[in-house]
Structures are given as structure tokens and as C-alpha cells.
Amino acid sequence: MGKRIAFVLSGCGVKDGSEIHEAVAALIALDRAGYEVIFTAPDILQTATVDHSSEKPETEARNALTEAARIARGNIKPLSDLDPWDYDAVLFPGGFGAALTLCSFASDGPECSVNPEVENLIKDARQSGKPIAAMCIAPVILARTIPGARLTIGNDPGTANAINAMGAVHVDCRVNQSVVDIERRLVTTPAYMLASGPAEVFEGAVSMVEKLGELF
């Protein structure tokens, strides 16, 4: 059996949940490298729900776990049920759900808070020396929870400044590459913070997964 990745989702869809292209790109890269994926998400309501065809807010409340199950093809467990021995590493794809539901960066910027279950997952992984990977906007979660973390969201000045304000260190990165923090066992890639299409997202995901393997 290969290494197991806790694949943390926040819903289904770029504007209020997990970015589907990024999730699939990471899944293919992990599968090709021989990893086993354990899908998980917090069993909570999404902070926002958006009609992706009109980009307008919706009033209907949606559950992050239930929506994320669409990407997981139903095989998903609540984050609260995930035990530390279930996984060998953690991966967060991007999408606005990472900044809305997994943390409050979208509304609070550098003063954001992180969902307690997500924070506990990161704490447990760090205490066990397990690597953590993140894509697109999701590295802000690591910036908030891991002091001094060296990471990337690409090269957006506003987001980079917010990351630095949280006590992390932002590193500019090309779309098809990734940034590694060896000391803290982190790897991040810009994905759709820079990418012009899914091919570039996939190239970054492959780089991320390759470097993730070097952290075990």
C-alpha cells in the first residue's frame, strides 16, 4: 500500500468550495505517483453558496461535506472522524471554499481564523512530522497556523503581503513549479492563482506531488 493522503475538500466549485480542476489535477498526480487518497471535509455548512452560472450569491445553505462528496465520488469521511493514523500527509486543493469555509481569509485577511477541525488536523500532522501540501489560495491556511512557513500563492502582491503579515514568508513562484519548506515539511503551488488553464494547473500539481514525496 502506498502513502495515504488526507485530501481536504471544502465543497464543490471554485466560487464557494474546492476548485474542481485543481482537485482533479492533484488526484491524477497523486494516483500516478502511487498514493492512496483519503477524502475528507468538515461536516459544516459552507460559509457562502454561489450560483456558478451567474456568479450571484444563493440563499440555499449547503453542507461542505455533502458537496465535497461529489468530487470524492461519495467515498468521503467527516474531518472530525479522521484519525492521525489514517494518513501520512495532508493536501489542500484551492478554491474559494478554502478561504471562506476552511478559514476566514476571504473576509478577514491577515486577521483570519481557521476552522478548529482544520487547525487540529494541521497540528496533528506537524506533531507527527507529516508533510502538508496546498494549492492556489489554500496556503493562507498554513500561513495562519504555522509561524514562519515558507510558501507561495504565485506572485499576487496583495495576497503575498497578507501572508507576510501573518508571520509567514511568501516566495514568488512560476505556475508550473512549487515551493518547499524543508524545515516545516510544506510544499505549495500557485495553480489558478496564476494558471491560464488546466494544463498549467496539472504541471504545478505534478511538481507539488514530486516534492511532497521528497519530504517523507
Task: Please give the C-alpha separations between residue 69 and each of 12, 84, 103, 164, in angstroms, as whole numbers.
Answer: 8, 21, 20, 34
Task: Specify whether the CB–CB gap between 103 and 114 falls below 8 A.
Answer: yes
Cβ 113 vs Cβ 104: under 8 Å: yes
Amino acid at 210: E
Residue 136 is among the residues annotated as catalytic for this protein? yes
The catalytic position among 103, 112, 136, 173 is 136
With beta carbons less than 8 A apart as the criterion, state whether 172 and 152 touch.
yes
- Between CA 191 and CA 206 the distance in angstroms is 11
CB 136 within 8 A of CB 98: yes
Whether residue 62 contacts residue 100, with contact meaning beta carbons closer than 8 Å, is answered with no
* Residues annotated as catalytic (active site), given as ranges: 136
